[in-house]
């Protein structure tokens, strides 16, 4: 168990280790940031974006909230998104959810949790939209599917923001991605292909919005040919059975 004093001691050890490896590390870091990625993820303490992706200081701009939501009226999120896209000009925006998400689990239940219930309204709407399909599943599977459906919903919300729409019109960037992290295995699975325009956004989200998300019982479609990645940016194919 860490204490406040141990955190400060760890920081001093971190500084010594970095300077031993690169005496100019902090001087270079202070010159500015040039991240290629914006990560929109959950506040869960087990989901550390830099640790999960092997990125270092200055390589990933980060916004986190409960249940990794992209709410069109959330000024905090919009300010981060605008700065990342228009000033830092990141090439990728990742919405990453995680299995075992407490926020999504709370939205599934019928209990009151206080103020956070207002924040989780968007997750409840997604659950209600897919209720008939989700209700037939056991509790664990229902939670896993709703976590994934929530990610796809937030990818759709992200792509429809005026910030992303303007950037797509001007420079066909950023690419947006929907991922899910499995705390039990440590792995990240893509739920969408790489998206950089409205057509690709519709393709990634249309089955979800039609009520045919990961809980669908129908066999997965054969994989479609993916357009060649631009400028060397490759995107892993989504897992079978998950939209698109």
Q: Which residues are catalytic?
A: 42, 44, 46, 98, 101
26 neighbors 18 (Cβ within 8 angstroms): yes
Please name which of 118, 192, 181, 120 lies closest in space to residue 158, comparing C-alpha atoms. Answer: 192
- Output the DSSP codes for 114-148: TTHHHHTHHHHHHHHHTHHHHHTS-HHHHHHHHHH
Rg (CA), the chain: 19
Cα 64 to Cα 42: distance, rounded to the nearest angstrom? 5
Residue 83, classed as helix, strand or coil, is helix
Cα 141 to Cα 147: distance, rounded to the nearest angstrom? 10
Please name which of 53, 38, 30, 1 lies closest in space to residue 188, comparing C-alpha atoms. Answer: 53
Distance of CA 51 to the CA centre of its chain: 15
Tell me how long the chain is.
244
Strands (E), 43-192: 60-65, 92-98, 175-181, 188-190
Cα 217 to Cα 211: distance, rounded to the nearest angstrom? 12
């Amino acid at each position: 168990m860490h204490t406040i004093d141990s955190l400060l001691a760890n920081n001093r050890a971190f500084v010594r280790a970095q300077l031993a490896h690169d005496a100019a590390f902090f001087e270079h870091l202070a010159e500015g940031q040039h991240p290629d990625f914006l990560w929109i993820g959950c506040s869960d303490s087990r989901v550390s974006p830099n640790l999960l992706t092997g990125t270092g200081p200055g390589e990933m701009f980060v916004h986190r909230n409960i249940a990794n939501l992209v709410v069109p009226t959330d000024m905090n999120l919009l300010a981060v998104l605008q700065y990342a896209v228009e000033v830092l000009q990141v090439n990728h925006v990742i919405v990453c959810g995680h299995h075992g998400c407490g926020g999504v689990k709370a939205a599934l239940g019928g209990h009151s949790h206080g103020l956070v219930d207002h924040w989780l309204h968007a997750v409840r709407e997604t659950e209600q939209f897919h209720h008939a399909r989700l209700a037939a599943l056991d509790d664990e599977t229902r939670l896993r599917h709703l976590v994934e459906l929530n990610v796809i919903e937030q990818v759709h919300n992200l792509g429809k923001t005026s910030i992303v729409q303007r950037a797509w019109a001007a420079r066909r960037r950023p690419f947006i991605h929907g991922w899910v992290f499995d705390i039990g295995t440590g792995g990240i699975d893509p739920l969408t292909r790489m998206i950089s325009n409205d057509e690709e956004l519709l393709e990634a989200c249309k089955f979800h919005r039609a009520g045919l998300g990961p809980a669908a019982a129908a066999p997965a479609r054969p994989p479609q040919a993916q357009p060649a990645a631009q400028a060397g940016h490759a995107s892993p194919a989504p897992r079978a059975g998950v939209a698109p």
